[in-house]
Amino acid sequence: MHRPRVALTMGDVAGVGPELIATAWIRPELHALCAPMVVGSVAVLQRALDAVPADRRPRLRPIATPEEADPSPSLIPCLEPAVAVDVAQVPPGVVDARAGRAAYDYLGHAIDLALVERIDAVTTLPLNKEALHLGGVSHPGHTEILAERCGTPDHAMMLYLPAERASDGPDAAAGLGVVHVTLHMALRDVFAAITIDSVAAKIRLADRALRPLTAGRRPRIAVASLNPHAGENGLFGDEEIVTIRPAVERTRAEGFHVSGPFPNDTLFKEALSGTFDAVVAMYHDQGHIALKTVGFRRGVNVTLGLPIVRTSVAHGTAFDIAWRGIADPSSLIEAVRVAARMVDWDRRPAR
C-alpha cells in the first residue's frame, strides 16, 4: 500500500515543534501511517535530536526536493527552504521575530509543494502568533495563512478528537469534530460575523470534512447556540431565531443530517457520548474548551475547504516546557493519522 507523503512543518523553532518531530520520528506508528519528511531548519532539528536516546537517534539527511526523501525510523529527510532569517541561534522558550518569520516560510513552502501534488498532505507544528506578527506577518495564524495561500475564501477550522481506537480501518470510529463559524476574532465582533450564510457554509464544510472519518456515511451534525439556554425563545437574544435556526433548516432541506441550535451547556455532553459526529460552534472558545478539556493530548486541528490536506497538533508552542525533552508527541501522531485517512479517502474512486 502506498503511504501518503506527509510534510511536517517545524513551526516556531523556540517552541516544542522540533523536539516533537524528533521524538515522534522513532515511533513505529508514524512510519506505518505515512512517508514523512520535515520542512524546517536542519541545524535546529539536529539540536532537537539530543532529546532522543543515543541508541535510537536517527540520522539527519538534508534534501533539496521532496522526491529525494527516503524516510525510515533511522533517517530523517529535512528540506530547508530559503528563508530570510537565520534561526540556528534562536534561544528556546522565547518570542523571537526570526522564529516567527521562519515558521511562516516553512509553512508557505510546504503549501506550495502540496498544491502541485509533490506531497500529499501537510501536518504543522505550532507557531507563536506574537512571533509571527513581529516577523512581519499580518495573518493571525495557520488557518488564515493557508486560506490565502490556497486562494480559499470559504474555509474553517475543525478541532477533531479521535475516538479511542479499536482499529484504523475503514470502519474505525469517527470521534468528534468541532467546526467554528468564527475563529480568531474579538468576542465583541462575533455577533456581526454570524449570519445565515456563514453558519450554513460551516455546516456544509463539516459534512464534507467528516466523510473520510465516518467511512463515507453522512455525519450527524449538531449546531450550538450563541446565547445562554439557546436564547430561551428570544428572552436572552434572538440570534438563534433569526440566524442559526434558519441556517439549520436550509441545510437540512439540502439533505444534511443537521439539528439544533442546542444549548451549549448540555450539547457537548451529548456529542461526546456519541450522539453526534460533529458540532458547529459559533466562536473559538465555545468549541475549544470542551474538546481540550477531555482530549488535550489527542486533539487534532484540520483546516477545511482547502484544495490540500492540512492537519495540525491541537496545542501551542508550550514555551514553558520547550527544549526540555518532555513534550508529548501524541497529538502529532494523531494529526498524521487523520491526514493519512483523509488522503486515503481522496484517493478512492468517485463515490
Q: What is the pLDDT of residue 299?
A: 87
CA dist 68 and 257 (Å) reads 44
Its pTM stands at: 0.88
CA dist 319 and 34 (Å) reads 28
If asked whether residues 219 and 177 sit together in one domain, one would say yes
- Neighbouring C-beta atoms of residue 83, cutoff 10 Å: 18
Q: What is the pLDDT of residue 165?
A: 44
If asked whether residues 43 and 53 sit together in one domain, one would say yes
If asked whether residues 54 and 158 sit together in one domain, one would say no
Q: Read off the C-alpha cell for 103.
A: 515558521
CATH assignment at residue 196: 3.40.718.10
Q: Measured in whole angstroms, how far is the alpha carbon of residue 32 from the centre of its chain?
A: 20
If asked whether residues 280 and 290 sit together in one domain, one would say yes
If asked whether residues 183 and 201 sit together in one domain, one would say yes
If asked whether residues 1 and 48 sit together in one domain, one would say yes
State the total domains in the chain.
Answer: 2
If asked whether residues 184 and 318 sit together in one domain, one would say no
If asked whether residues 182 and 315 sit together in one domain, one would say no
Below-50 pLDDT ranges, the chain: 165-173, 351
CA dist 171 and 176 (Å) reads 15
Q: Which domain holds residue 279?
A: 154-305
pLDDT digits (tens, 9 = 90+) for 118-132: 999 999 999 999 999
If asked whether residues 96 and 226 sit together in one domain, one would say no
CA dist 260 and 220 (Å) reads 11
Q: What is the pLDDT of residue 36?
A: 97
CA dist 65 and 81 (Å) reads 10
DSSP string, 181-215: SS-SS-HHHHHHH--HHHHHHHHHHHHHHHGGGTT
If asked whether residues 187 and 278 sit together in one domain, one would say yes
If asked whether residues 187 and 277 sit together in one domain, one would say yes
CA dist 81 and 63 (Å) reads 10
CA dist 337 and 300 (Å) reads 10
If asked whether residues 181 and 51 sit together in one domain, one would say no
Q: What is the pLDDT of residue 349?
A: 53
Q: Read off the C-alpha cell for 207.
A: 459534512
pLDDT digits (tens, 9 = 90+) for 17-33: 999 999 999 999 999 99
